[in-house]
Amino acid sequence: MLPSLLPSLLPSTLRIDFKFFSGLHRIMPKGNAFGLGRLVQIMESFLKHLETERNLSPETLRAYRKDLEQLQDFFKAKKLSELVDTSAEEVRRWLAHFGERGYSRSTIARKLASVRGYFRFLQRENRFEGRCAFLELDTPKVPRSLPHFLTIQEVMRLLDQPQTDSYRGLRDRAILEILYSTGLRVSELVALDWSHIDSKIRLVRAFGKGRKERIVPIGEHALRSLFSYREAIPSQWIPEDGNWGPVPVLLNRFGQRISDRSIRKIFDRYVGRAGLDKRTSPHTLRHSYATHLVDSGANLREVQELLGHKHLATTQVYRHLTNEAKAAEYQKHPHSTLPDQKVSNP
C-alpha cells in the first residue's frame, strides 16, 4: 500500500498526519521490526481507543489530533527528530512557545495531557521502553477561575429572544429552554432522541462524557416549548408510523439531527440580540442552571448528580459563585463600607 494513501483510509475525525509518528521508531523495543504499516496502525489504534473505549466525542478527537499535529510542527521547526529521547528542557520550550503565542494555561495543560495520553497508551500496549520527558514533567499549574453565569433576569431575556411564530423560532426556543431547564451539555442535547424524554414523569435520559447515562428532571416550561416545537415540525419529517421514539429531538434545516456547531451559531445569534456578555455560550446556561440551584439552597451532592460531575470538587465552584455574588450585592448596602477609610480589625 502506498504511504500517500494511508491517511485517506482513516475516518475523518481520526485522520492525522502519519509522518508525526515516524520519529517513534526509537521508542520501540530493540530488535522488533517497526515498519510504516505499524506506525499507522499504532496511530489508528490510539485514536480508535479514544473513540470506542473512552467514548470521546468527535470534537474531543479533533482536539487530540490538533495537539499532536502542533507537537509535530514544533519538532519540525526545531529540527528535532527524537520524541521520547527529548529532554525535559525541550519539552518546557515546547510548552513555553504556546504561552508566547497567547494560549491560556489551561489550554497548554490540556495539550500536554493529550501528548501524555498518547505515550501512556504506548506504555500500556508495551510498545516502548525507557523514560519519557513528556510523562515526567509536572503539569503546569492552572489558576482556578470561576465560570461565567447569567442572572435569572438575563436568562429570561435570552429565552424571550426567539420569535415563536415559526418552526425555527419554536425549535430555537426549545433549545434554550432545555439547556437551562436541564443543565445538559451541548453534546448531550444534540444526542437526545424522543425516546429519551418521559413527559409524564418529567425526566430526561442524558448520555454524558464516556456515554455515562444519567436521569435529569425537565421543567414544565421546557416541555411545553418542546412539544410546541414538535407540533410545528414539517410533515415530511414526521415518522410515517407515528413512532417518534428513535427520531432525533432537534433537527436541522434538512430534517437531520442538528450538530453541536449549529447549536452554538443559533445561541450566539440570540446572545447578540439579548445584548449579553460576549463570553456567554451554551455552557453558560449549564453554569447558570447549577448556580441558581445552589443559590436556592439545593444540596451540592444532588447538583453533582444532576450535572454528571465525577468529583464533588468540580461542583463546589458554584458555591463560590453564589458567595461572590452575595458579597458583591452587599456592597450596595449604604453601611457596607466607610467612605475613603479602611476597616481595621478591632
**Active site annotation includes 333:** no
- Model pTM above 0.75: no
132 SS3 class: coil
Query: From the CB of residue 165, how many other CB atoms can be counted at a distance below 10 Å?
Result: 8
Q: What confidence score (pLDDT) does residue 38 get?
A: 47
**Active site annotation includes 286:** yes
Separation between Cα atoms, residue 273 and residue 16, nearest integer Å: 39
Q: Do domains 3-136 and 152-279 have the same CATH topology?
A: no
List beta partners, residue 206. 214
Separation between Cα atoms, residue 284 and residue 34, nearest integer Å: 48
- The pLDDT tens digits of the residues spanning 81-106 come to 555 556 788 888 888 888 888 888 88
Residue spans per domain, the chain: 3-136, 152-279
**Active site annotation includes 221:** no
Name the active-site residue from 286, 287, 289, 292: 286
CATH class given for the domain over 152-279: mainly alpha
Separation between Cα atoms, residue 170 and residue 182, nearest integer Å: 18
If pLDDT is split at 50, 70 and 90, which confidence band does 129 have? low
Separation between Cα atoms, residue 86 and residue 99, nearest integer Å: 20
Looking at domain 3-136, which CATH architecture does it have? Orthogonal Bundle (1.10)
Answer for the pair 65, 43: CB distance below 8 angstroms, yes or no.
Answer: no
Name the active-site residue from 25, 168, 283, 320: 283
Query: Which percentage of the chain shows pLDDT scores above 90?
Result: 38
123's grid cell: 506504555
Q: What angle do CA 338, 344, 346 make, to 5 degrees?
A: 120
Q: What confidence score (pLDDT) does residue 18 get?
A: 41
Answer for the pair 251, 233: CB distance below 8 angstroms, yes or no.
Answer: yes
Name the active-site residue from 15, 185, 287, 292: 185
Q: Where are the beta strands (DSSP E) in the chain?
A: 197-198, 203-207, 213-217
The amino acid present at 283, given as its one-letter code, is H
**Active site annotation includes 335:** no
pLDDT at 275 over 80: yes
**Active site annotation includes 209:** yes
